[in-house]
Amino acid sequence: MRKILVVGAGQSGLQLALGLQSHGYEVTLMSNRTADEIRSGRVMSTQCMFDTALQHERDLQLNFWESQAPKIEGLGVSVAAPGSHDPGPTQRAIDWVGRLDGYAQSVDQRVKMAGWMETFAQRGGQLVIHGAAVGDLDYFSRAYDLVLVAAGKGELVSMFRRDPERSPYAEPQRALAVAYVHGLGPRPEHPEFDAVRCNLVPGVGELFVMPTLTTSGRADILFWEGIPGGPLDVFNGVKDPAEHLSLTLELMEKFTPWEYARATGVELTDAGATLSGRYAPTVRNPIGRLPGGGLVLGVADVVVANDPITGQGSNSASKCAAAYLGSILERGEEPFDEEWMQATFDRYWATAQHVTKWTNAMLAPPPEHVLNLIGAAGQLQPVANRFANAFDDPSDFEDFFYDPEKTSAYLASVTGA
């Protein structure tokens, strides 16, 4: 049986390792932390996964927490009225919620990755706890038919060259700050179902609020994305979790008081419940060359790293793992050569390109026709629903989002109907 090394134990690396294992491949998984270290560590992301990505987990029977995690049935968008945050109370110029065709879910990656890693080991997989360097891979690559690099941070990423044509931004476009909390009240407009809330503050940044399942049960995530150098870019160097939460709430009170109103009694879920940082969205060449001449294939955010403004990171990781798994299974006993590696990435890029295009568009100030579209969704429920469901399938934005004429034609078709 073919031997495969997977380096990195995140959404994509673990999903791929478990998928290959279920098909009888001899898989070695390399992680820089144990399951216990992950479970007791700091939160890693916000990971709201939509129906298609969740289905990839179901297909592999890895949806261990589906019955416990909150079912997210809607996606809401609020836009702060211009100039309303300074001075006086902020008003919403736009406020609506679209209903999802299939529910979304968020499971704290500390819960999921630790659980999946233990499952991989229990099923007989070889688990190596080691922070791999390029030199290690040069040594290991000779013993494996294929080496997959799914560790999106650190030295290994340097093996994959940036693709300037697909990477319009050289610098981070948002400063990120996450807090997991207990005690958040429901949105009074729709208390009967859970929704992700996207709050846009023009010229300042965005606040995302979403329900999740964490190590201590049901919780909510408060996630600020601030334009660098702006009023939300204040988390750099904040190490104390309590100070991080205090800043988060102060900014909510100033810029999104409708969300702050339900957050006055929140507390952090645990000592590792905060996260901050920033990175430049980047697409890289998928094939890495080792000093000894061997080739490795980059996975998920190693090769396509988008800003989390559109909530696509774990979705893309799941879709990448599913695409790569299909390519590996179809390859049979043929060599995993450079041509196959490029074709395997291209198969993933067929969907990933839509995520990258949409995410990069959302990082820029919206053009007038997009503002009109988001505004129309407040009056036309089918528009709100379509916008919400495009988070599951971003390729749909091609038909109504980017081009002013297509947007006008779509809105005319809805009002005409």
Record the pTM: 0.96
Task: Give the model confidence (pLDDT) of 273-317 as tens digits.
Answer: 999 999 999 999 999 999 999 999 999 999 999 999 999 999 999
* % of the chain with per-residue pLDDT over 70: 98
Residue 88's pLDDT is 42
In which band, very low, low, confident or very high, does the pLDDT at 84 lie, cut at 50, 70 and 90?
low
Among 140-154, 174-188, 202-216, 376-390, the range scoring the smallest mean pLDDT is 140-154
pLDDT of residue 45 exceeding 80, the answer is yes
Cβ count within 10 A of residue 383:
22
In which band, very low, low, confident or very high, does the pLDDT at 175 lie, cut at 50, 70 and 90?
very high
Cβ count within 10 A of residue 193:
16
Residue 85's pLDDT is 53
Looking at residues 367-385, what average pLDDT do you find? Answer: 97
In which band, very low, low, confident or very high, does the pLDDT at 90 lie, cut at 50, 70 and 90?
low
- For 10, 32, 145, 368, 402, the CA distances from 156, given in Å and listed in that order, are 15, 12, 19, 41, 35
Looking at residues 257-277, what average pLDDT do you find? Answer: 97
Looking at residues 161-185, what average pLDDT do you find? Answer: 97
Helix axes 51-59, 313-331, angle to 10 degrees: 40
Looking at residues 327-347, what average pLDDT do you find? Answer: 98
* % of the chain with per-residue pLDDT over 90: 93
Residues 178 and 221: beta-carbon distance below 8 Å: yes
Residues 308 and 226: beta-carbon distance below 8 Å: no
Looking at residues 186-205, what average pLDDT do you find? Answer: 92
Looking at residues 88-99, what average pLDDT do you find? Answer: 83
Residue 126's pLDDT is 98
Residues 226 and 232: beta-carbon distance below 8 Å: yes
Residue 162's pLDDT is 97
Average pLDDT, the chain: 95
pLDDT of residue 27 exceeding 60, the answer is yes
176 exposure class (CB count in 10 Å sphere: 0-12, 13-18, 19+): buried
Which domains does the chain carry? 3-63+107-169+280-362 (3.50.50.60), 72-106+173-277 (3.30.9.40), 367-416 (no CATH)
Task: Give the model confidence (pLDDT) of 210-225 as tens digits.
Answer: 999 999 999 999 999 9
Q: Which helix (H) or strand (E) is 226 found in, with range? A: strand 217-226
